Structure 1
Amino acid sequence: MYRILKKLLVGDPMPTSRLSHETMPKRKALAVYASDALSSVAYATEEITLVLALFGAQAMGYLTPISLAIIFLLLIVVLSYRHVIRVYTSGGGSYVVAKENLGTIYGLIAGASLLIDYLLTVSVSISSGTAAITSAFPRLLPYTVHIAIFFIFLLTVINLRGISEASTILAYPPYLFLFSMAFMILAGLWRYYTYGAPPVMPAAQLQPVYANFGLLAILRAFSGGCTALTGVEAVSNGVPTFKEPKARNAIIVLFALGGIAIFLFGGTSLLAELFGVVPVKGETLVSQIAEIAFGGRNWAYYLLQASTALILILAANTSYNGAPLLASRLAADGFLPHFLTIRGDRLVYSNGIILLGAAAAFLVLIFHGDTHLLIPLYAIGVFLSFTLSQIGMVKHWLKNRDRGWQFNLLINAIGAIITGIVTIVIATTKFTAGAWIVIILIPLLVYLFIAIKRHYADVAEDLSTACNVEIRHFRKNTVIIPVSTFTKAVINTVQYARSISQHIIAVTVNTNEHNLEKLQQKWQCFESDIPLVILDSPYRSITQPLVEYLEKLEQEAGPDEIITVLLPEFIPRKWWHFFLHNQTGLILKASLTLKKDVVIGSVPFHLSK
């Protein structure tokens, strides 16, 4: 049943020879990698106005300057990451750049920051997409968490089907969103310059909650809008997924992504100021703008809301492409579990995809799918990785003075300074709102990476062999067979035990006198030459008496003796039959595995019915 379900959801396994074909052309790559950056425009402007609205109508006038500053920052980041893609064509983005140029610790900080960013990208984008749905259909508001977790599960399954199939399925909604947003911006501008502003401009009647508007408030609004930059780094992480020439195609997609993001974010911010739109509980800013631009909740409005919900949900797909690749790089370097380097049946890093989906679902559950609660955690990781990447590239140009290195150095230096300042601004302005969690989590993750690396080094040292290694020869192998009832499975185990040792002991734990008497009678009839040791258990425990008996045997055994425990095990024909039987063997195996000089084995007996 597991195989049938897996085939139904994921598809047939692919041969390794197909790996070179599991890449994306520019058209599909733009849809996959741009979805995060493009979706940010659906809530970046709103995050700015959420802060400005607290200080009244006058503060809303700063929306345009703040938006222009963010657009300038986006241009710098795009130009900076062009160099990262060109130099580091194997992918890995900020992690590889920082690790190779600044050192391992800085690389791990960048890696931890990006992993947190990818996780939050899934949580925030899915939550934002759900918010777009509940804005259009308020009756669904109580089911926010359920809807979000469903979409996480759906995206996880789609990405498990492989890069080619996932990119084909998910390529069209981003373009629908792009054209819908462009249509809204053009329609809004036409409506404003033809008919003027709406009769009632909410911003003009906005009552200030706080009076002390100043630089700190502007910086707080700016840090909220910086979420518009998230997703830009994903292209540099996913260079290996592009068709040849990989670097050139990735750079083209990066520039296209930047241009579209600037147009959509700038247009949305401009309409928000022209129409005087302010945040309203239960309805997104884009929903309000669209209703004004399209003259009501008509087909164009619902098409935009549907495409917005789709792009916000599919923005998580950027993380599903970037996070498993980054995790595999970290795992290949020994900083994460090695199973993250394994490609699944569909030639994707399935374990990383599943872990990302599970962690994102847990985060949505904890924060109840509230975008505004998740946003403060969001941008710190990505801007910290931006900064480390740019500093790494500065060092790269100083060390490798290639053609045009002076201009490249200037761009990366400006990028490092600006993104560094933004990182500090976001960390300070959003610290009490939840950013402290990320600030603590990043060093904890780095410590975890180092601990995993140290563990793998210790394991390698313990397992390493040399030509002069001493081979241990055992003179005596005492086989212990735990039994509860006399069955064919026990006879099967005894027969195998006789083939590997002459020293066999059967052990039973007395939890029922009647059953013990029946076992003794049958044992005398069939296996009288093998002793049956009876262990008393006044509290009906099976594991503890057996463990104590083995410890006693270990103490009595010599240095050239070993103990083998063989567990009789019967295998039902149908999978659901397993749930009808006690799993005592599994419990015993788990308890005895930690014994140093004890070998544990199962002897299966397959049932015919």
Structure 2
Amino acid sequence: MVSAIKRFFIGRPLKSNMLGEQKLNKKKALAILSSDALSSVAYGPEQILIVLITVSATAFWYSIPIACAVLVLLTVLILSYRQIIFAYPHGGGAYIVSKENLGTNPGLIAGGSLLVDYILTVSVSVSAGTDALTSAFPGLHGHNVAIAVAFVVFLTLLNLRGVTESASILAYPVYLFVLALFVLIGVGIYQILTGTVPADLHPQLGAPVAGISLFILLRAFASGSSALTGVEAISNAIPNFKDPAPVNAAKTLTAMGILLGLLFSGIVFLAYYYGISPLAEVTVVSQIAEETFGRNFLYFFVQGTTALILILAANTGYSAFPLLAVNLATDKFIPRMFTVRGDRLGYSNGILILGLASILLIVAFGGHTEQLIPLYAVGVFIPFTLSQTGMLMKWIREKPKGWELKFAINSAGALICFTVTIIFFLTKFTQVWPVLVFLPIILYVFYRIKSHYLAVAEQLRISDRARAVALEGNVMIIPVAGITQVVQTSIDYARSLKVDQIIAVYIAFDKEDEKKFEAKWKQWQPDVRLATLYSPYRSVIHPLMKFIDTVEHKANELHYRVTVVIPQFIPKRGWQNILHNQSGFLIRAALLLRKNLIVITVPFHLKK
């Protein structure tokens, strides 16, 4: 039944040789890997105006030069990540670049930041989309958390079905959003050129503004740079592209950069020309759409696709998180389970962990995760800074042909990204300070996992110096609860092996029962030694452990091996297990923690 449910939601398993069919072409990759970056157009320009309004509406003209600065940073990042794609065609992005050029710790900081950031991507994006939905339908406000969790579950199941299947479904809303904004920007600019929009709604460029300062401008620039979150996702997901993967990834990255630049600059320009002010209850995009179209179909089309893109921005996390986790797991910094492909050839464990962590975050914050946006943004700019710096070191070390231009691009990127990171810490420390706590914790966990894997490898490695201890014999202990077929099967199994002694152990809860069982056993198995243990407190584990301790002590002196054989009957149907005591399971769990003791389970399958 469980298998049938799994097949219904996830689909039939795919053969390993079908992996090539699960690769993405450029159109689908652009949709699922750019959704996070493109969705930031819905709030990036607004973040600039929120900072400038603290001075006055007259300062809104600064949004134009600030937007130009953001576009310069976007250009630098796109050029830099194109270089990263060709330099590191197997994916990994900022983690691989930082680790190979700056060292293990910077690499782990970049990798850890991005892992957390992708979790934040899912929770913040889904929560924002849910807010947009419940704003349209106020009666749903009380169910924000449940709706957001339902969206995460839907995206998780969709991604478990495979990359191509999720891309086929999610591509339509992404491209509809792009179409809606291009229509909005195009109609808005047409109205401006034809004089439909009054020219006196906005402050003139260069108008003097009292109270403006470099600090305010840098803060507005940093806030607007939140529109660049998600730019790195394509460099992490190169293995998901069809061959030639690096070429296709680079073209997709360029297309994303062009779309993001056009949409971001268009929205900023319209917001400035229309004299839009940020409002708590209405987004900037909504105000522009209403000014441009009025409350008609096109307005609701823009709002609907915006809500969809905010939710689907989470899918960038589902695409990039599992592949980044594979790189970290390959280097033994996180559990190896992240390298295992599921039935549909995707990295299912990474997808499931991402979905579960996002749900926990949504529940913990009651669906109000907007206060996590600064943390989300700084979590991206730390890897941005490290990857740019790593590429600097690579060019200095290797000095390939034309490296001077590449060095200049990465120098500009590293400086700007570092500046943005510092501004975030200076201006929004109360919201971003957790990064100073969780990054050291993540690094500690990474190294603990790595040390465990190294210790395991050292102990499992076969060495010429390693010699097995010579054993003189074997003692088998069989805990028994009665005279049954399952006990008979276990004794027969023990006899079939080279065993020096078989000891059956019976735990009695009263003296009379102890005597009766000894008599029955003598008649049934007179050649098998029986040890009866009286347990006045009705414990099975404690007296059995003490008896095994005694046998082990004697066996060690004689160089004998001790094996415990646990008889276990298996009901025909799984649900029937709850009708029986699980004493065999408890004994086995206790014994597996003991050194130098072999534990064997002999199953007896019931037919009725």
Structure 1 and Structure 2 fold alike (TM over 0.5): yes
Task: Please report how far the alpha carbon of residue 508 of structure 1 lies from its aligned counterpart in structure 2 after TM superposition.
Answer: 3.2
Q: Higher mean Cα deviation, 132-141 or 29-38?
A: 132-141
2:450 is equivalent to residue 453 of structure 1: yes
CA pair 494-75 structure 1, distance change in 2 beyond 3 A? same
Following superposition, the deviation at residue 198 of structure 1 comes to 12
Aligned to 1:252: 251
- Shift of the 361–468 alpha-carbon distance from structure 1 to 2, 3 Å rule, reads same
- Deviation string 1:89-137 (CA, Å, 9 cap, x unpaired) is 1111111111222222222222112212212111111111112211211
Please say if residues 323 and 352 of structure 1, whose CA atoms lie closer than 8 Å, have aligned partners that are also in contact: yes
Residue matched to 1:223: 222
Match of 1:487 among 464, 475, 484: 484
Matched, 1:582 2:581: yes
The alignment status of 1:463 with 2:460, answered yes or no, reads yes
User: Could you tell me how far 1:443 is from its partner in structure 2?
Assistant: 2.3
User: Which amino acid is 2:495 matched to?
Assistant: R
1:196 aligned partner? 197
Identity %: 46
Aligned to 2:272: 273
In 2, distance between residues paired with 1:516 and 1:34?
73
- The residue aligned with 1:206 is none
Amino acid at match of 2:22: E
Query: Does the CA-based 8 Å contact 1:135-1:287 persist in structure 2?
Result: no
Report matched runs for 1:141-540 at 5 Å.
Answer: 141-190=141-190, 194-196=195-197, 214-296=213-295, 298-433=296-431, 435-500=432-497, 501-511=499-509, 519-520=517-518, 522-540=520-538
Alignment match, 2:541: 543
Name the count of aligned residue pairs: 599
CA distance in 2, matches of 1:116, 1:385: 12
C-alpha deviation, 1:511, in angstroms? 4.3
Task: Say if 2:384 and 2:414, in contact at 8 Å, map to a contact too.
Answer: yes
Question: In 2, distance between residues paired with 1:321 and 1:249?
Answer: 16
Q: Tell me, yes or no, if the aligned pair for 2:159 and 2:318 is still in contact at 8 Å.
A: yes
Aligned partner of residue 564 in structure 2, secondary structure:
strand
| RMSD of equivalent CA atoms | 2.6
Structure 1's unaligned 5+ residue stretches are 204-210
1:63 alignment partner in structure 2: 63
Conserved 8 A contact 1:94-1:385 = yes
* Deviates further, 365-374 or 139-148: 365-374
Give secondary structure in 2 for the equivalent of 1:465: coil
C-alpha distance in structure 2 between counterparts of 1:169 and 1:499, whole Å: 59
Greater mean alpha carbon deviation, residues 377-386 or residues 546-555: 546-555
- Counterpart secondary structure, 2:533: strand
Q: Structure 1 residues 303, 581: CA separation in 2 closer, same or farther (over 3 Å shift)?
A: farther
Q: 1:499 to 1:134 in 2, by over 3 A?
A: same
Corresponding residue SS for 2:145: helix
Offset of residue 191 of structure 1: 5.1
2:43 aligned counterpart, secondary structure = helix
Contact 2:128 2:370 in 1 (8 A): no
The answer to whether the 8 Å contact 2:61/2:272 transfers is yes
- Alpha-carbon spacing, 1:491–1:75, altered in 2? closer, same or farther (3 Å): same
Check 1:442–1:328 CA distance in 2 against 1; reply closer, same or farther (3 A cut): same
Whole-angstrom CA distance in 2 between matches of 1:271 and 1:525: 97
One-letter amino acid of the structure 1 residue matched with residue 450 of structure 2: K
Asked whether the 8 Å contact 1:131–1:284 carries over to 2, the reply is no
Indicate how the Cα distance of structure 1 residues 51 and 578 shifts in structure 2: closer, same or farther if over 3 A, else same.
farther
Shift of 1:447: 2.2
Q: Which runs of 5+ in 2 are unaligned?
A: 204-209
Q: Distance in 2 between matches of 1:288 and 1:436?
A: 33
Which stretch shifts more, 502-511 or 118-127?
Answer: 502-511
Checking the alignment, whether the CA contact within 8 Å between 2:202 and 2:273 is kept in structure 1 is: no
For structure 1, which segment, 161-170 or 349-358, has the greater mean C-alpha deviation from structure 2 after superposition? 161-170
- Larger CA deviation: 541-550 vs 1-10: 541-550
Following superposition, the deviation at residue 291 of structure 1 comes to: 3.0
Name the aligned partner's letter for residue 324 of structure 1.
P
Match in the other structure for 1:603: 602
Contact 2:504/2:530, CA 8 A, preserved across alignment: yes
Once the two structures are TM-superposed, the CA of residue 571 in structure 1 deviates from its matched residue by: 1.6
TM-score between both structures, scaled by the size of structure 1: 0.92
Structure 1 residues 308 and 587: CA distance shift in structure 2, 3 A? farther
Tell me the amino acid that sits aligned with residue 129 of structure 2: G
Who is 1:136 aligned against? 136
Is the contact made by 2:160 and 2:348 (CA closer than 8 Å) also made in structure 1? yes
Classify the secondary structure of the residue corresponding to 1:396. Answer: helix
Q: Deviations over 1:572-598 (max 9, x none)?
A: 222322333333322222221110021
- CA drift of 1:176 comes to 0.8
Instruction: Determine the structure 1 residue equivalent to 2:207.
Output: none
User: How far has the Cα of 1:519 moved from its partner?
Assistant: 4.8
- The TM-score with structure 2 as length reference comes to 0.92
Contact 1:367 1:374 in 2 (8 A): no
What is the CA deviation profile of residues 277-330 of structure 1, one whole-angstrom value per residue up to 9, with x for unaligned ones? 44444544433433333201x332332232222222221111111111111111
The one-letter code of the counterpart of 1:343 is R
The Cα of 1:260 is off from its aligned counterpart by: 0.8
Q: Deviations over 1:470-501 (max 9, x none)?
A: 12332232222223343322222222122232
Q: Residues 222-281 of structure 1: CA distance to partner in whole angstroms, max 9, x if unpaired?
A: 333222111111111111221222222111111110111112222223333344444444
Asked if 2 retains the 8 angstrom alpha-carbon contact of 1:332 and 1:341, the reply is: yes
**Do the aligned partners of residues 249 and 503 (structure 1) sit closer, same or farther apart at CA in structure 2, a change above 3 Å counting?**
same
